[in-house]
Structure 1
Amino acid sequence: MKKRILFLLLSIIAAMAAHAEESILVTAGWLKEHINDPDLVILQVGYLRLDYEREHITGSQFLWPGWLAPDSPEGSFNAPDPAAATELLQKMGVSGNSRVVLCHVRNEVSVAARMFLTLEDLGLKGRVLWLNGGLDAWKKEGYPVTDRVTIAKKGNFKAKLSNLLVDKVYLQQAMQANNQVIVDARMQKYYDGEPTGLPRDGHIPGAKNIPYPDMIDDANMFKPAETLQGYFTPVAGKDKEIVAYCFIGQTASVVYMAGRILGYKMKLYDGSLQEWTRIPELPMEVTKKEQ
């Protein structure tokens, strides 16, 4: 009996460990196999409802980024009001035990990645999955799409913020911390100081550079983990928390996701350089060119 109990305990621990290490990326084949799971919710993310109305995976709901990352006079891509987010996601069928699969259209990876981060910040961390390659990957496998809209059964999800989106004060503190690394997710030319139209150019002092386009291949899929690791290893070990930023808090979400794929502790400075460069007392620097 004792051996049997020990075996069951070890099996449970192994299952929990396997679940904890489960990738946030799923393939079209995986989604096809699990599409009828009762706890699965598919959200197609896109700038225009028109794309969703033309074609989407059967049963999926449309998620416009503006609903969960609204603009305001304080900046672009802000965190949503938890009560409004709760109402929206319940309407889309999301419950506390749901697994939510995000599906992007064409090359709209960065805005869908911001939705991934937002859902994790709202309390769904560990329950948000990403269809690698999006709708194009699904269609490439020959799986069907539809223009028929499905009305979801109302869910019971309740948003609870997880503080994955941080402010300028948090970033200032991170600049002085030994256990945190700041990462600029923009292309290197902008990191170095090429003009962008912002009040000041360059990067936040001490920030490392992991350009977000390098995380994605030509098919708009995340590159293999071993390739992604090559960008992260020179920047930080997994004992460090990474705080990413970009122009407005959108494209840095791709680096956030890449870090999550690799098992890093990730956060995002939501105001990013749209805010930082407008505050004169906050420092900026440009890359010094060799003479």
Structure 2
Amino acid sequence: MMTKRHVTRRCGGLIVASGLTVILGMTVPVLAATAATPGFAQPDLVVSAAWLKTHLSSPDLIVVDARSAEAYAQGHIPRAISLPLTQLLTDPTETAATTVARLTAVVSASGIGTHKRVILYDKGGDTAAPRLFWTLELLGRSQVAVLDGGLQGWQSVAGGMTTVPTRIGASPFQTKVELGRLQTMAGCIVALGDPHSVVVDTRSAAEHAGSDVRAARGGHMPGAVNIDWQTNFDGPRLGDPERLRTLYLRKGVTPDRTVISHCQSGSRAAVTYWVLRLLGYPNVKNYAGSWAEWGNDPTTPVVTGT
């Protein structure tokens, strides 16, 4: 059941309700997982291809292919259902209640609203699975992990492939919107003056500097730290946990601060969101509006250069 009090914020392509209260009455069984690389503080948010190969037949597991429907049709992991990320993107013309209702309907229709663990994958070293991970966490879906290495990782352990689609029955999903996982433009403006917060620009160095312009204005938020999202990976797989931990600490991105990640539209930022969650950072938010919103608003502060 969902109770709506009032709609207060718009974040680029994501509209949220400040007073939105929904109930999630789910008890999800925990299927023990082994992290792809030991050393993460939250290893349950990632699984290795070897682990998935061993547990693929488990009835308590749902594997989700976050790639396009076309890519899925060309070959996918056996038993995986297709849930393209594009189905869970948001429409800026919708109200908060409409957005939540539509996304809830998609999750319910997909069958992943059940009390089962969900493993997401993409091609590997990509943004689709982490973005879907963030979206599901925003909706309050617990017990979600990403396959390290994606489809490339799966194939590296001689995992089988199929072109036969898998479909599972719809299952009711009661959403609990977790607004703490989302940042808005207004929230970013406040955070820029807060020493207890840090903004991580996950775009390329050229976008950050303003030489690669993808909005009305190029550049970055004053004080934003630039850590390209691709540095989170070594090829298709996650980087070593200690390397990643050191990378962020040296940039001043420490666990005692609220961390806000952004990119152009929220997908690259979702990779950093996922990695920081893996590293045990307690307060991480994705600014989903990102530079598409910030760079096109003439009132926001923008600086150029490094």
Match of 1:39 in 2: 60
TM-score by length of 2: 0.80
State how far apart, in whole Å, the 1-side matches of 2:169 and 2:214 are. Answer: 46
Q: TM-score, normalised by structure 1?
A: 0.83
Q: Are the counterparts in 1 of residues 265 and 289 from structure 2 also a CA contact under 8 Å?
A: yes
Query: What residue number does 1:280 align with?
Result: 298
Q: Does 1:239 align with 2:256?
A: yes
Q: 1:28 aligns with which of 49, 65, 72?
A: 49
Determine the C-alpha separation between the residues in 1 that align with 2:124 and 2:189.
36
Is structure 2 residue 108 aligned with structure 1 residue 90?
yes
Matches of 2:249 and 2:305 in 1, distance apart?
A: 21
**2 CA distance for matches of 1:80 and 1:140?**
42
Give 1:38 shift.
2.4
2:71 to 51, 63, 67: 51
Q: Tell me if structure 2 keeps the 8 A contact 1:249–1:269.
A: yes
Which secondary structure state, in structure 1, belongs to the residue aligned with residue 186 of structure 2?
Answer: helix
Q: Is contact 2:66-2:85 (8 Å) kept?
A: yes
- Which is helix-richer, 1 or 2? 1
Q: 2:86 matched to 1:69?
A: no
Say whether the 8 Å CA contact 2:191–2:197 is kept in structure 1: yes
Q: For 1:46-105, what per-residue CA distance to the aligned partner results, in whole angstroms no more than 9, with x for missing partners?
A: 1x312111211121111111211135469xxx9982222222222222235321100102
State the 4+ residue runs in structure 1 displaced beyond 3 angstroms. 20-23, 70-74
Larger radius of gyration: 1
SS of the residue aligned with 2:133?
Answer: helix
Would the aligned equivalents of 1:79 and 1:165 in 2 still touch at CA under 8 Å? no
| CA deviations over 1:108-160 (Å, ceiling 9, x no partner) | x11222111101111024x1101101112112211211111122032232222
Aligned residues: 263
Say what the alpha-carbon RMSD is for the aligned residues: 2.3
Give the distance between the partners of 1:79 and 1:258, measured in 2 at CA. 30
Is 1:121 equivalent to 2:141 in the alignment?
no
Q: Cα deviation per residue 1:216-239 (whole Å; 9 max; x = unaligned)?
A: 122x11111111112210222211
Query: Structure 1: how far apart are the matches of 2:289 and 2:88?
Result: 15
Unaligned runs of 5+ in 1: 1-14
Percent identity of equivalent pairs: 30
| Unaligned runs of at least 5 residues, structure 2 | 1-31, 33-40
Alpha-carbon deviation of 1:178?
2.6
